[in-house]
Amino acid sequence: MDLNRDKIVIDGTTYLAVPDDKDNTCDYCSLRAKCYNRDGIPCGLYAGGVHFVRQLDKKVYLSLPISGKDTYEIRRTLRKGYDYLRAQGYQIITPYDASPNANASYAEHMGKDIQALLECDVVLMMPGWEDSRGCQCEKATAEIYGKEIVYYADTE
């Protein structure tokens, strides 16, 4: 068993760490966490204060407004989307994964973002996407290429 703080690999199957979430309680145990236990994953994978869910083969591109936003707001939005997807076992690709070079031009960032989006199965549109040219472009691309589009419902 390969163990680090983000995942466990057991017999070649990867299980992703899911942080405790006070809003959700495991259906199979009394621990307050997003423990979905699908695919027969036992609560026995609860280790070191973290539940684990099986990593799915599906990749999700997280589309969020970046231009004109402050760093705190971007990180907060990224964290919401990341936690939501991670709790379901999805592999997550963000614009920062696709284009990490802070000195790249807007066009370079968008080109790499679109390329990454095309390698994903699903696109998660985060709040504020309607007012972002980049997000609108990503949504249009997802529609053209028949990607599943999901809209994050911000409950705050």
Rounded to an integer, what distance in angstroms lies between the CA atom of residue 139 and that of residue 65? 12
Q: What is the pLDDT of residues 16-57, one digit of tens each?
A: 666 554 444 444 454 444 444 444 444 545 555 556 666 677
Angle of helix 106-118 relative to helix 133-144, nearest 10 degrees, comes to 30
Quote the percentage of the chain above a pLDDT of 70.
62
Q: What are the backbone dihedrals phi and psi of residue 29, each rounded to the nearest 5 degrees, phi first?
A: -150, 175
pTM over 0.75: no
Domains of the chain plus CATH, in order, are 2-54 (no CATH), 59-151 (3.40.50.10400)
Indicate the pLDDT class of residue 153, thresholds 50, 70 and 90: confident
Report the alpha-carbon angle 94-95-98, nearest 5. Answer: 90
Q: Does the structure show a pLDDT above 90 at 100? A: no
Least confident of 9-18, 52-61, 74-83, 115-124: 9-18
> Which two three-digit tokens encode residue 65?
């407004």
Contact between 129 and 64 under an 8 Å Cβ cutoff? The reply is yes
